[in-house]
Amino acid sequence: MQDEQHIIDTLGIAAWPEDKREPVVIEATMRIGNALVEDLSEAQYNEYTAIVDDNQDVIAAWLEKNVPDYKENPVYASVEADYDTDPEKNNPAKIFASLAWIQLNVPDLQGRIAKTLQAYKQELSV
């Protein structure tokens, strides 16, 4: 969802030792995820969760309805090209659908991420 290096840079923890930095990045990622889903309806949350959980039927239906030409999308092509180097071998349609779903359903995506990271950065400074 969010680039790890962006999180590290935004929080100002690049100089921290990795063993201290890693749990902070994990916590920041969780907080970003929570911020992105906090205003969703139950139906939206269930749909997004089904996509993230790799429910093939939900993914196929959502893509057909919202991005029927997704295989021609450069973002999808990039995700598909990275499949061989993905240690988890995530389904490219799942990755693309989750990204597209968030962009379509979460208003002010970048603002939410920035606000979440800024609040966490202040906590870390205390």
Residue 66 pLDDT level (bands cut at 50, 70, 90): very high
Residues 27-43: tens digit of each pLDDT: 999 999 899 888 899 99
Considering the domain architecture, whether residues 55 and 100 belong to the same structural domain is answered as yes
pLDDT > 90? residue 100: yes
CA-wise closest residue to 62 among 49, 72, 75, 74: 49
**59 CB burial (10 A radius; 0-12, 13-18, 19+):** buried
pLDDT > 60? residue 1: no
pTM of the model: 0.76
Considering the domain architecture, whether residues 82 and 54 belong to the same structural domain is answered as yes
How far is 39 from 26, CA to CA, in rounded Å? 22
Considering the domain architecture, whether residues 50 and 3 belong to the same structural domain is answered as no
Task: Answer whether 102's CB lies under 8 Å from 109's CB.
Answer: yes
Tell me the residue range of the domain where 13 lies.
1-39+107-126
How far is 46 from 48, CA to CA, in rounded Å? 6
